[in-house]
Structure 1
Amino acid sequence: MEQERQSENTEKSSSGTANRSPVAESDEDNERAHPDREALTLPSFVAGSGALDRLVDTARDYARAAASENTLKAYAKDWAHFTRWCRMKGAEPLPPSPEMIGLYMADLAAGSGPSPALSVATIDRRLSGLTWNYAQRGFTLDRKNRHIATVLAGIKRKHARPPVQKAAILAEDILAMVATLPFGLRGLRDRAILLLGYAGGLRRSEIVSLDVHKDDTPDSGGWIEIFDQGALLTLNAKTGWREVEIGRGSKEQTCPVHAVEQWLHFARIDFGPVFVGTSRDGKRASETRLNDKHVARLIKRTVMDAGIRSELPEKDRLALFSGHSLRAGLASSAEVDERYVQKQLGHASAEMTRRYQRRRDRFRVNLTKAAGL
């Protein structure tokens, strides 16, 4: 299976590098890798023991499970970036200083040196990451403090832009994308991923986290049950546990349930993750669960191969589609009551579901005519 290579560039100031000892550098790396070590420990007045230490480790595991892995990774990067920025400015990240955080946000919005200015959404997310990290270290960051709230309000007023939505993959698009896939083992897998993700309105993390049965693996995000009428997915999603019903299609070539059955049969998978990698020759399934980035790459590749939005330059086409295009496609294409779409996508409000509907309900209510004009 093709693996995506990632590299991370670490910025260091010359003065900070010169004055930092190997021990301090190791401690900083240790803190970045395990931000919860300081957060969950035994009280100072309690003597440690083997049983208590194991409970601390268990509590840390539960604390990590409070947010998704991707969220925790993002928060860890937010903290690493902020602490590096503080040291470059000759300040310390602890305890929290609203004044310094206000300056930090202003720097992010303005852009400095080779670093481009960040979007309002990214700055807001960075602030959420700092709030979470401070909480894990026993501090409270007051986002309503004037040094933070007024700076953020000014950034939003000056730099806010309408949200950039990914394009929806409509019914005719998904059929064209599926048609580009070969009929080998990888093609069967990728066809099942696209059709299941589209029909279920699933997030890419929900697709790859599926297991064949309940409790097959420790990192499972849900499981799938197949019936004569369709498939029932039980998912541990962002909003909690939910069930997603996926009925059988009108023909086998485009039926998501049939596609999953074909993949599981020919890959000889009866336990563990549903979607796994394959051997280099593509003739054998591995036991390694796919990363959710595979779904994003698969969507972009098949969009290109199918010639969708071919009037646009390649760069624009690649930027236009992502994993969320599947969810937006279902919301935009399914001609059913909005409540059923909301339930399928797992949204808490109808307003959130409407954000995913790219072409429906516009001008459905004409207030101009209703007002007599």
Structure 2
Amino acid sequence: MTNLPKNASSLAHTNLNDLKIRIDPKELLANTLEKIEGAYAYASIRAYRADFNAFIEFCEECNEDALPALPSSIANFIIKLSNNKRSSAGIRRAICGISTIHKLNRMDDPTKDPDVTIEMRRMHRKLGRSSSQAGSINIDTLDKLLSATDDSIRGLRDRALLLVAYDTLCRRSELVSLQVKDVKTTIKNGVESTSILLRKSKTDQDSMGKILRLSPRASLALMEWIKQLPEGQEKIMAGVNRAHSIGSAVGAGQINRIYKRIARAAGLDESVIKGISGHSMRVGAAQDLLSSGASMPIMMQRGRWSKSDTVMRYVEHI
């Protein structure tokens, strides 16, 4: 493929559809993702990278261009993903990523073409629109998990993680982002309370911040864990190795495994454990809020949801 001309920087505001040169899609994708780093959530960038690289490979197999892409290429890509048993939600995510990468490079959006729209309708009729819901960790299940923890370093960390996750309804990325310096304890009218500042969330990309209140039980567990953290530790949710030494911060991808490990120790049925994910605590806490009579505005405020239909998907299987 021919490389971009040396004066490519002067073409920053040029519609790339008008350029009569071949574009290296992998190089342009890498440059695009580098450009948006810090402006988009890490999970979004990771999804764009994975989905668009898969689309590039598909186009290479068909000897077609991925950037800019033909609507027919995208329609055929949808067919392939449908036949490969990818979920409808996963396919929608992939097509959204293709659209975004094109628009970020000032290219016409091929996903708006009628051929792509028709294929998406066909895909939805075939696969449906529903997405699998994470298994619920409600208050009853939470109590069972807590009973499986002990007073070891790992046990203290696990208790704090479980109770903070339930009280705050944190997404897993939010949970692992919580910082020690943002934990505040106040005493008012002789009553002690603890809160944590959530600096940024999925619905707060501008980092306005949100104060999350903890119950006395969660507060006690958190303080017991923080006492074990080494001086200078930044993140609250740190890892614990086999020697019971505190290591680096826990990654978002580890939350799921931690929940499942504790669930097995608690003796939960394997069919229940299979449905547990890093989102399960959020699902269970939302269902408990509904059961307690919480209104929709209160639930949306507690869970930091921007759409009521998202909340309803969480609680539809209560």
Question: What range describes the TM-score normalised by the shorter chain of this pair?
Answer: 0.7 to 0.9
Q: In the TM superposition, what whole-angstrom CA distance separates every residue of 1:86-116 from its partner, at most 9, and x where no partner exists?
A: 1111112122211111111112112xxxxx3
1:202 to partner: Cα distance: 0.8
Cross-structure match for 1:357? 315
* Distance in 2 between residues matched to 1:99 and 1:29, nearest whole Å: 20
Cross-structure match for 1:332? 287
Cross-structure match for 2:88? 120
Q: Does the 8 Å contact 1:36/1:136 carry over to 2?
A: no
Equivalent of 1:135, from 103, 116, 121? 103
Task: Map residues 213-224 of structure 1 onto 2, 5 A cutoff.
Answer: 213=181, 223-224=182-183
* Distance in 1 between residues matched to 2:229 and 2:168, nearest whole Å: 22
- TM-score, length of structure 2 as denominator length: 0.82
* Distance in 1 between residues matched to 2:47 and 2:69, nearest whole Å: 19
Q: Report the CA distance shift for 1:103/1:343 in structure 2 as closer, same or farther (over 3 A).
A: same
Cross-structure match for 2:225? 263
Q: Could you list the runs of 5+ residues in structure 1 that have no partner in the other structure?
A: 1-26, 38-59, 111-115, 214-222, 250-254, 361-373
1:233 to partner: Cα distance: 2.6
1:104 paired with 2:77, answer: yes
Q: Which amino acid aligns with 2:103?
A: A
1:278 paired with 2:235, answer: no
Task: Map residues 1-373 of structure 1 onto 2, 5 A cutoff.
Answer: 33-36=30-33, 60=35, 63-110=36-83, 116-160=84-128, 162-213=130-181, 223-227=182-186, 228-240=192-204, 241-249=208-216, 255-269=217-231, 271-282=233-244, 284-286=245-247, 288-308=248-268, 310=269, 314=270, 316-334=271-289, 335-338=292-295, 339-358=297-316
Q: Does the 8 Å contact 1:247/1:257 carry over to 2?
A: yes
Q: Could you list the runs of 5+ residues in structure 2 that have no partner in the other structure?
A: 1-23, 187-191
Q: Which amino acid aligns with 2:275?
A: L
Q: Does the 8 Å contact 2:180/2:235 carry over to 1?
A: yes
* Distance in 2 between residues matched to 1:353 and 1:246, nearest whole Å: 20
1:182 to partner: Cα distance: 2.6
- Off by >6 Å, runs of 4+ in structure 1: none
1:332 to partner: Cα distance: 1.2
SS at match of 1:121: helix
User: Between the two proteins, what is the percent identity of the paired residues?
Assistant: 23
Q: Which amino acid aligns with 1:174?
A: L
Q: Aligned residues, how many? A: 284
1:28 to partner: Cα distance: 7.2
- TM-score, length of structure 1 as denominator length: 0.70
1:34 to partner: Cα distance: 4.4
SS at match of 2:112: coil
Q: Which has the higher contact order (CA 8 A, sep 6+)?
A: 2
1:356 to partner: Cα distance: 1.6
* Distance in 1 between residues matched to 2:276 and 2:221, nearest whole Å: 23
